[in-house]
Amino acid sequence: MLEPTLMSTLDTSPQATALSTVYGPVTSWRVGASLGIDLLYQTSICSFNCIYCQLGDIQQKTIQRAIYVPTDKVEWDLKNSAWEQADIITFSGNGEPTLALNLGEVIQLVKQYTQKPVMVLTNGTTLQDPAVRQDLRHADIVAVKLDAADNASLQQMNRPVAGVTLDGIVEGAIALRQTFTHKLVLQCMFMPANLQQAQGIADLANRIQPDELQLNTPKRPYPKEWHRESRGNHGDLPYPHVALKYLNEAEALSIENTIRQHTHVPVVSVYKPQL
Ligand code: SF4
């Protein structure tokens, strides 16, 4: 429970949450009410620069791990947030959460304080690092992004920093699967640009052996500039943005059918979220 003094000062307005490393809860089609933890916070920081990223063009493109926000600040922000209204606590925010060196420490802190399940969304680029896999061991769900089945599509969809390869991502995900005993998910974002990747992604799923494969398409617009408030934003953006080409229901169903034909991994789709 929150201490009375914290309860009385709780302010979950957009202005207040924009200054916090903890935001939401926001509603997710996959997991319900999700409270976000942002370990990047200072700006957008990622080893990818996806063409559909809700943060817009990534400001700091890097694969170097560092402490971007002190654990003490995250702890205070969590205690002063609406965490009790959340079904799950999600590490995502302003970029790639595994770039935060204090990820493992904060996961344990969040679990002890809230007693709620924790999910980490990752682009998979750091999973070859044993220290990252060690940090993830206390998460209840790890969701790994996989939008491409070859390096050309990886470059087109995700625009990674130099040195990142599809083989490295897949090998990292396989290594995580070998030791991670909780729920491992592959999240695939489909657009017209990667429609032809469906069968290849199903083949990679057969190698990685996740518990679930989630199909999505980018319905949120692409901001023309970075705003911290873009993290977890599920509504209309109050600043300049461009609409993205996403899949219609027939295209999504076609992809779903292709993937189901080539893998035994359970598939859920943003258009039809039941197994
Ligand atoms: S991995 Fe996530 S945060 Fe990074 S660029 Fe892609 S969508 Fe944005």
pLDDT score recorded for residue 2: 36
User: How many helices (DSSP H) and strands (DSSP E) are in the chain?
Assistant: 9, 12
Alpha carbons 77 and 222: distance in angstroms, whole number: 28
Which of 4-13, 64-73, 136-145, 236-245 has the lowest average pLDDT? 4-13
pLDDT band of residue 15 (cuts 50, 70, 90) is: low
3-state secondary structure of 118: strand
* pLDDT of 197 strictly over 50: yes
Tally of residues, the chain: 275
pLDDT score recorded for residue 5: 36
Name the residue of 37, 43, 44, 48 whose CB sits within 8 Å of the most ligand 1 atoms, as the mutation to test its pocket: 48
Q: How far is the CA of 52 from the centre of ligand 1 (A)?
A: 8
Which pTM value belongs to this model? 0.90
Nearest Cα to Cα of residue 39 among 113, 124, 104, 88: 104
Q: How far is the CA of 57 from the centre of ligand 1 (A)?
A: 9
Beta carbons within 10 angstroms of residue 242's beta carbon: 9
User: Is the C-beta atom of 48 inside 6 A of ligand 1?
Assistant: yes
Q: Which atom of ligand 1 is nearest to the CA of 52?
A: 7
pLDDT band of residue 233 (cuts 50, 70, 90) is: low
User: Is the C-beta atom of 21 inside 6 A of ligand 1?
Assistant: no
pLDDT band of residue 237 (cuts 50, 70, 90) is: low
Average pLDDT for 248-256: 87
What is the percentage of the chain residues whose pLDDT exceeds 90? 73
Alpha carbons 212 and 210: distance in angstroms, whole number: 5
- Written as one string, the DSSP assignment of 29-71 is TTTEEEEEE-S--SS-EES---TT-TT-S-SEE----B--S-H
Alpha carbons 156 and 48: distance in angstroms, whole number: 11
Q: How far is the CA of 273 from the centre of ligand 1 (A)?
A: 22
Instruction: Report the DSSP pairing between strands 22-28 and 183-189.
Output: unpaired
Beta carbons within 10 angstroms of residue 177's beta carbon: 19
Name the residue of 40, 44, 46, 125 whose CB sits within 8 Å of the most ligand 1 atoms, as the mutation to test its pocket: 46
With a CB cutoff of 8 Å and minimum separation 6, the contacts of 220 are: 52, 54, 233, 234, 237, 244
- Contact indicator for 141, 117 with CB cutoff of 8 Å: yes
* pLDDT of 274 strictly over 50: no
Q: How far is the CA of 49 from the centre of ligand 1 (A)?
A: 6
Q: How far is the CA of 92 from the centre of ligand 1 (A)?
A: 9
- Contact indicator for 51, 189 with CB cutoff of 8 Å: no
Reading the block at residue 171, the tokens are: 């090998």
User: Is the C-beta atom of 50 inside 6 A of ligand 1?
Assistant: yes
Q: Whose CA is nearest to atom 6 of ligand 1?
A: 50
Beta bridge partners of 223: 241
